[in-house]
Amino acid sequence: MFSLVAMAFVKRHGIMWRVKMLVSRDITNFSVRLPDSIKETSGLIYWHDCFWTMNDHRKPFLYGINPLTGIIERKITLLNVETNDWEELTQDEQHIYIGDFGDNDRKARKKSRTIYRFEKKAALENDSVAVQKINFELEGYFDDRKGLPNNTNFDCEAMISMNDSLYLFTKEWKNLSTTVYVLPNKAGSWIAKKKQIFDAGGLITGASYFSPNNVLVLCGYHTDQKSYLIPFVYIFTGFKNEDFFSGKSKKVFIGKPFHQVEAVATYDGKNYFFTNEGITKERVFIAPLLMRANLEKYLVKTN
């Protein structure tokens, strides 16, 4: 149930009807608070019995958190990296990839976007790891923000690994769509090629691909007058190869108003986990959480 302060915040932003519609639809069945040291959680994967996450604008650490308690069990330092705007994690059998490709400031990024990758084996044996750099630019990129923050269609916060490629999903503040770009998963400098566009109707912030079931899940949130309020997931099934939007899709509201969901991951293709950034705004406090929702019924009843 919302507090009176939270209700007043919603009224001032003119979206009471949307919150009332969604407040009873909480699909999560478990949540645990995350430490304040990772309150800016921006990516999520499940690996080696932990969920791994990182902050978007802090020191170059990955944190392994206990799935039941939210306690940090391991911390890995990435060597010789920058933390401009870390936004996503993904993995394959041998490597973990960290996407430093967020770009929603008033001024466009001066440096090329970077994905850092490192070997899982090295991370199991050491608390600090060397990385390889995958530098890239988005095909067709231009500065469209007109000197305003959160006013570009070339922001990016979501990424998956498939075969020998990385697929990026943009966070389009103007169009509220997401565009898929693809680039090799190897070190070097690349142009990420534009593949397809999906009308998401909201801001896409995270992605998870579960290869055994060939299921893609995107998470994000709706905005109203620049307020972070209503998180959702899109579930894509029945597609072939990387043509993600050619099959069936289902949009599901998470039912956690005010939670700025930033990342999604799964270990079994049924139970999906999300993290949200901690928010303190106009006396409204939202703690950073690790949340779980069982999406199995939505995988069956797609349309």
Domains of the chain with bracketed CATH: 4-300 (2.120.10)
Give per-residue pLDDT as tens, 7-53: 444 444 444 445 444 444 899 999 999 999 999 999 999 999 999 99
Going by C-alpha positions, the residue among 188, 160, 136, 187 that lies closest to residue 43 is 160
Q: Residue 224: pLDDT band by 50, 70, 90 thresholds?
A: low
Confidence band (pLDDT; 50, 70, 90) for 284?
A: confident
Among 89, 112, 219, 83, which Cα is nearest to 161's?
Answer: 89
Beta strands 279-281 and 284-286: pairing type?
antiparallel
pLDDT in tens, 61-102: 999 999 999 999 999 999 999 999 999 999 999 999 999 999
Q: What is the mean pLDDT of residues 195-202?
A: 97
pLDDT tens for 128-156 read 999 999 999 999 999 999 999 999 999 99
Predicted structure pTM score: 0.92
What is the 3-state secondary structure of 87-151? EEEEECCCEEEEEECCCCCCCCCCCCEEEEEEEHHHHHHCCEECCEEEEEEECCCCCCCCCCCCC
Question: What was the pLDDT predicted at 3?
Answer: 37
Q: Which residues contact 8 (CB under 8 A, 6 or more apart)?
A: none
What's the pLDDT tens digit per position in 228-282? 579 999 999 999 999 999 999 999 999 998 899 999 999 999 999 999 999 887 7
Quote the mean pLDDT of the chain: 91
Percentage of residues of the chain with pLDDT beyond 90: 83
Q: What is the pLDDT of residue 57?
A: 84
Q: What integer pLDDT is reported at residue 228 of this predicted model?
A: 55
Res. 290: pLDDT tops 70: yes
